[in-house]
């Protein structure tokens, strides 16, 4: 495809909607898979075996929830270990829908079968980029922690408030740097999809993303944060809605509203994520 031939606005909207639905379906199914062991652990504790079932666990000041944590600790601990393992596997599997979504945003007219085949070909390179990102982000957080520990002797004679705030500020900067490298990672993934498997490897894609960071630092470092803010707004709005409702009631309407509010928040967050992925493709294309 010629990079100078940009798709129409209607095509962009339709492909963005398709990419968002794809990510929503995959994340919903994987989320249900992760939560299933915890559901089995709660059932094994028999706390929801009464006539009100699990509604008693959501009542204000309910002691049964504490009893569930106390008596069901062995089941819950095993379920959490399984859920963590499933979370890791889900994060790896989610790379395939992500590659398909990027391909949808880049080449709107390609058949679905070809998109899936390309996503499977990109899988190992996406996995390698993710491993590099985890190592870099761990190094950034470790550097922030070591710097905070090194500053403690220097700040021993200063104000106590400064001594408490400085380590937190350094960790915050470390998290911010991790977010910046996450932006670079998305641009590297977009570069892989845009150039194709035969033309670009994981190392070349990461080098191109770092070149994009050097040429357009503001666009790279700030571009993803509207997506983060939009996602936070969606989830906070869903949490506010749930606090205004009472999921412990037996009303099916209240339960449906809580579920619908949660799903709307997820869709809203995914829509902002898709917006950033499209921006990452544009940033990758504009870098020479």
Q: pLDDT tens digits for 44-102?
A: 766 666 555 666 666 665 666 676 677 767 778 888 899 999 999 999 999 999 999 99
Give the sign of the dihedral formed by CA 20, CA 98, CA 120, CA 108: positive
pLDDT of 1 higher than 50: no
pLDDT tens profile 239-259: 888 777 766 565 667 777 878
d(C-alpha 272, C-alpha 247), whole Å:
28
68-72, 158-162, 212-216, 251-255: range with highest mean pLDDT: 212-216
Who has greater pLDDT, 9 or 178?
178
Asked whether residue 110 carries a pLDDT value surpassing 60, the answer given is: yes
Q: In this model, does residue 234 exceed pLDDT 70?
A: yes
State what percent of residues in the chain have pLDDT above 70.
Answer: 83
Higher pLDDT, residue 206 or 256: 206
What pLDDT does 111 receive? 83
Model confidence band, residue 7 (pLDDT cutoffs 50, 70, 90): low
pLDDT given for residue 23 in this prediction: 93
The span from the CA of 142 to the CA of 174, in Å, is 8
Q: Are 202 and 125 in contact (CB under 8 A)?
A: yes
Residues 6 or more apart whose CB falls under 8 angstroms from that of 282 comprise: none
Share of the chain above pLDDT 90, in %: 26
For residue 190, the model assigns a pLDDT of 92
**Total-model pTM:** 0.82
Question: How far is residue 230 from each of residues 40, 98, 200, 207, measured CA to CA in Å?
Answer: 33, 19, 32, 29
pLDDT at position 88 is: 92
Choice between 111 and 189, residue whose per-residue pLDDT is larger: 189
Question: Across residues 140-169, what is the average pLDDT?
Answer: 79
- With bands split at pLDDT 50, 70 and 90, how would you rate the model's confidence at 185? very high
pLDDT at 73: 75
Average pLDDT of span 115-132: 90
3-state secondary structure of 155: coil
pLDDT attached to residue 127: 93
Q: Are 42 and 54 in contact (CB under 8 A)?
A: yes
- B/e letters for 28-62, b = 16+ CB within 10 Å, e = fewer, are eebeeebeebeeebbeebebbeeeeebbbbeeeee
pLDDT of residue 270: 92
> How close are the terminal C-alpha atoms of the chain, in Å?
17
139 — pLDDT class (breaks 50, 70, 90): very high
Residue 191: pLDDT over 60: yes
Average pLDDT of every residue of the chain: 82
Determine which of 96-100, 168-172, 270-274 has the lowest per-residue pLDDT on average: 168-172
């Amino acid at each position: 495809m010629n990079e100078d031939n940009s798709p129409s606005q209607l095509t962009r909207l339709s492909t963005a909607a398709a990419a968002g639905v794809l990510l929503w379906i995959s994340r919903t199914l994987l989320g249900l898979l992760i939560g299933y062991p915890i559901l089995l652990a709660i059932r094994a504790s028999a706390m929801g075996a009464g006539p009100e079932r699990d509604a008693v666990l959501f009542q204000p000041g309910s002691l049964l929830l504490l009893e569930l944590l106390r008596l069901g600790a062995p089941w819950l601990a095993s379920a959490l270990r399984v859920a963590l393992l499933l979370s890791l596997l889900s994060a790896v599997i989610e790379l395939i829908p992500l590659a398909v979504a990027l391909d949808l945003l880049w080449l709107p007219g390609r058949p679905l079968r070809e998109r899936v085949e390309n996503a499977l070909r990109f899988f190992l390179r996406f996995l390698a980029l993710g491993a590099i990102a985890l190592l870099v982000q761990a190094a950034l957080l470790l550097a922030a922690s070591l710097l905070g520990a090194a500053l403690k002797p220097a700040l021993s004679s200063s104000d106590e408030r400064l001594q408490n705030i400085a380590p937190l500020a350094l960790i915050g900067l470390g998290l911010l740097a991790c977010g910046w490298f996450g932006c670079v990672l998305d641009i590297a993934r977009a570069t892989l999809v845009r150039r194709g498997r035969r033309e670009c490897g994981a190392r070349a894609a990461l080098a191109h993303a770092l070149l994009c960071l050097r040429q357009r630092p503001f666009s790279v470092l700030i571009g993803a944060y509207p997506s983060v803010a939009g996602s936070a707004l969606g989830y906070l709005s869903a949490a506010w809605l749930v606090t205004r409702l009472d999921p412990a009631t037996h009303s099916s309407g209240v339960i449906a509203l809580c579920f619908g509010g949660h799903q709307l928040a997820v869709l809203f967050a995914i829509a902002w994520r898709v917006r950033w992925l499209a921006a990452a493709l544009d940033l990758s294309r504009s870098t020479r």
